[in-house]
Structure 1
Amino acid sequence: MSRGPTNEFTLIFKIKPGQGEQLRTVLGQSNLEREAQIQARIGTLHDARWVLFDDDTRLLFASNFDGDWDVYIDDFAALIPDVFDGILQHTEDYPGIRDPRIKDFVVDHQHTAAGYSRAIPDATVKELKKALRVNRAFQELLDAGAT
């Protein structure tokens, strides 16, 4: 589903038997620097989350992105392959991010949301970041004029 230029994206995987705890550890190793790099590299990514459920036997990946699905998947493979390989190696039938069958694998695990909404439906990541920069600059001008 999409709202304006942004699409929802949901994948559900089966975790390899006995690897749920190990995967939970991998996902729990939050690295703010790595997450900032991912956001910078995948410039169309609004947000992303990983959820283990069903007693750590299944994994959900959900995100919102701007633009074309093929470009989004290609960006993950080209720009942050180690992130996806490091996580999805714990799921059944994962071929590897560089495998030519990766898009088929993604399609096989993709689920369209039953409902999807956004607070700012017409804004892309690029536009939102620009608006924040403009607002900061404007606030600095206001602050400078107050002294």
Structure 2
Amino acid sequence: MTTNTEKQTRPGLRHGRTNEFTLFFDVKPGQSEKIRQIFQQPGFEDRRKEMSARIGTLHDARWVLFDNDTRLMFATNFDGDWDAYIDDFAKYIPDIFDAILQHTENYPGISAPDIKDHIVAHQATACSYFRTYPEATVKDIGKALRVQEKFQSLLDEAG
């Protein structure tokens, strides 16, 4: 078995500078409502935006309960290296990852030494994966939006 300290090929497809990342977990019996409550907490949307900004390479994220709430999917697209991405979750947003995944079977915690092995064991590589702008990173998109905002402001002032 490969450990998280050995260099290895990680699951997931890459398109340009962006990777897909899809995990499937078994939800502990009776715990699905606790997962739903996390996402329904007042202020969660603001926390979500803050968490995405902290990661800095996260394009999008989806959490889905399915199979009569017995399974949980977490799927994202991100820029860069797989190991660095997981390290960023542990460094910048461990509380939310632990809050949700504690309700899944055998979750060791985001700071556990074997967390990368656990994640790989639950990751499935997509059959196909498309990005509209595969060479645009989150930072590129943020910069383009800031330039567009300034440009529109200049046009408004000139108008």
What is the TM-score when the length of structure 2 is the normalising length?
Answer: 0.89
Using the alignment, how far apart are the partners of 2:60 and 2:40 within structure 1? 17
2:5 equivalent to 1:5: no
2:144 equivalent to 1:113: no
The residue matched to 1:143 in structure 2 has which SS? helix
The residue matched to 2:133 in structure 1 has which SS? coil
Using the alignment, how far apart are the partners of 1:118 and 1:128 within structure 2? 13
2:121 equivalent to 1:126: no
Question: Any stretches of 5+ residues in structure 2 without a counterpart?
Answer: 1-12
Measured after TM superposition, the shift of residue 121 of structure 1 is 1.4
- How many residue pairs match? The answer is 146
Aligned counterpart in structure 1 of residue 153 of structure 2, from 123, 140, 144: 140
Q: Is the 8 A contact 1:27 1:87 kept in 2?
A: no
Using the alignment, how far apart are the partners of 1:27 and 1:11 within structure 2? 18
The residue matched to 2:76 in structure 1 has which SS? strand
Computed over aligned residues only, the root mean square deviation of the Cα atoms, in angstroms, reads 1.0
Using the alignment, how far apart are the partners of 2:39 and 2:107 within structure 1? 17
Question: Any stretches of 5+ residues in structure 1 without a counterpart?
Answer: none
2:14 equivalent to 1:26: no
Share of identical aligned residues, percent?
Answer: 62
Using the alignment, how far apart are the partners of 1:28 and 1:143 within structure 2? 38
Q: Is the 8 A contact 1:7 1:64 kept in 2?
A: yes
What is the TM-score when the length of structure 1 is the normalising length?
Answer: 0.96
Using the alignment, how far apart are the partners of 1:113 and 1:46 within structure 2? 17
